[in-house]
Amino acid sequence: MDILALDLSLEQEFLLKNYEQQVKCLSPERAQEFLLEAFRLLMIKDNAIRSLVKSSILNIDAHAQDSTAIDRSDLPKYKIHRI
């Protein structure tokens, strides 16, 4: 099983094709509004993923601090990079 799936599933390809048909019927003004809203939602999704990753890393780090059996020098150094 791939951890990082970068291709669309068959269902997603079908949804994209359906979406394409719907977008073709939009006026240019409505298409621009739609595109801006889609971009806004993608940014919100990025923020949610970034927040989840950050909280996950903080939880791992907090757990490591609480454990006396773990030598902190062996832990990998995590850095959050802006996308």
Do 63 and 74 meet the contact criterion of CB atoms below 8 Å apart? Answer: no
Q: What is the pLDDT of residue 79?
A: 60
- Predicted confidence band at 45 (pLDDT cuts at 50, 70, 90)? very high
Does residue 38 lie within any of the structural domains?
yes
Q: What is the pLDDT of residue 40?
A: 97
Burial environment of residue 50 by CB neighbours within 10 A (0 to 12, 13 to 18, 19 or more): middle
Residue 16 has pLDDT above 80, yes or no: yes
Distance from CA of residue 51 to its chain's centroid?
A: 10
**In the predicted model, what is the mean pLDDT of residues 34-48?**
95
Does residue 80 lie within any of the structural domains?
no
Among 81, 3, 5, smallest CA distance to 46 is for: 81
Q: What's the CA gap between 77 and 60, in Å, rounded?
A: 11
Does residue 49 lie within any of the structural domains?
yes
Does residue 37 lie within any of the structural domains?
yes
- For residue 51, give its domain range: 26-59
What is the total count of domains within the chain? 1
